[in-house]
């Protein structure tokens, strides 16, 4: 893995890092965006759909929030490295490292949906190189592993 100051955030520190990242990109940290990020982060290791998040924001604010507007904000978050899409779960997780870019690797439990996030640049660089040698340009590795998590295996 390339050496850099890899910071993994959670809780308040994650919220601060996300806000800093977004505002550095010239975007505003609006009340609605903050509410969507809070809701997304509250799912922790469980990928959430735009509908799940709209539901959580609606409950928190006591008013109906449309999944469509949540979806647009999630899209912005993914583009700004604040959130990641877990493709095989068709859902989103807050990105614990908004300050640095990685081809994040997700391990998703088939039983409980819990998702473990790992970063292994050596592995993803290998995938990029393999794609390039097969004639793919600008490859974007999506590496997701399905299986049974330690919690479910033990129970």
Interaction site with Zn ion (CB under 5 A): 6, 100, 102, 104, 109, 111-112, 114, 119, 149, 152
* CB-nearer residue toward Zn ion: 36 or 124: 124
Taking the least distance from each CB to Zn ion, the nearer of 107 and 131 is 107
Contact in structure between 122 and 134 (CB atoms under 8 Å): no
Nearest approach, Cβ of 139 to Zn ion (angstroms)? 17
DSSP letters spanning 3-16: -S------HHHHHH
Nearest distance from residue 93's CB to Zn ion, in Å?
Answer: 10
CB-nearer residue toward Zn ion: 2 or 133: 2
How far is the C-alpha of 59 from the C-alpha of 53, rounded, in Å? 10
* 55 vs 99 by CB, closer to Zn ion: 99
Shortest gap between Cβ of 134 and Zn ion (angstroms)? Answer: 25
Cβ at position 102, least distance to Zn ion in Å: 4
Contact 107, 116 (CB under 8 A): yes
Count CB neighbours of 64 within 10 A.
9
Structure tokens at 25: 């990109």
């Amino acid at each position: 893995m390339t050496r850099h100051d890899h910071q993994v955030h959670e809780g308040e520190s994650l919220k601060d890092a996300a806000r800093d990242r977004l505002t550095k990109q010239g975007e505003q940290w609006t009340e609605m965006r903050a509410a969507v990020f809070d809701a997304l982060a509250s799912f922790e290791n469980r990928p959430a759909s735009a509908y799940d998040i709209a539901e959580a924001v609606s409950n928190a604010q006591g008013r109906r929030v449309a999944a469509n507007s949540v979806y647009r904000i999630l899209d912005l978050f993914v583009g700004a490295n604040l959130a990641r899409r877990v493709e095989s779960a068709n859902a989103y997780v807050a990105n614990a490292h908004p300050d640095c870019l990685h081809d994040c690797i997700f391990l998703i439990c088939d039983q409980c949906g819990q998702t473990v996030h790992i970063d292994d640049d050596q592995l993803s660089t290998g995938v990029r190189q393999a794609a390039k040698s097969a004639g793919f340009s600008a490859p974007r590795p999506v590496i997701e592993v399905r299986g049974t998590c330690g919690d479910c295996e033990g129970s």
